[in-house]
Amino acid sequence: MSKLADLRKSYELGELDEAKAANEPLKQFHLWLEQALAAEVPEPNAMTVATVGADGRPSTRIVLIKGSDERGIVWYTNYDSRKGRELALHPFAALQFHWVEQERVVRIEGRVEHTTAEESDAYYQSRPLDSRLGAWASPQSQVISSRAVLVANAAKAAAQHGLHPPRPPHWGGFRLVPERWEFWQGRKSRLHDRLVYRQQDGAWVKERLAP
């Protein structure tokens, strides 16, 4: 562990020029996401979600992005989970993508809302059967005595619902509506490129931040 302070990496793979970056943050995000997919980086769809609890303390977890358009960034989860409960109290969150192999980070902040029931239904029905049953089986974020509880719950859900389980009422989508984006590209000598997009008078303003 004493060697951790000695770890070093020189970031030299790319650059981020505000003159060449897209004027719309969603367009820049889609460009980087497509490049991450094309480069076959591990789980390019994985993102960290940060929320705040009633005690004011933050918490993070990894989820998978399931959609992104002009309305926002979408993921699906159990509404009774810790993140679901925290978002019910404080409907704001921060997201972060870290594409290590490309030396890139994207941070997104904004308010969070539920997707429509129709959207949640459509995505739920697109999932593999085991995943749909798993949504019924797991009391997410609650203490359970052993893994046997999950196995028993899954078997009970399969017996009850068969091949066509409906979407559980406690399960669905969240959509983060972006209010701020930041794009980070690693550069040599720790002089990294950071571009932030913020809304002003209904339009996106693009600015460079010091690293």
Catalytic residues: 190
Query: How far apart are the C-alpha atoms of 174 and 72, rounded to whole Å?
Result: 10
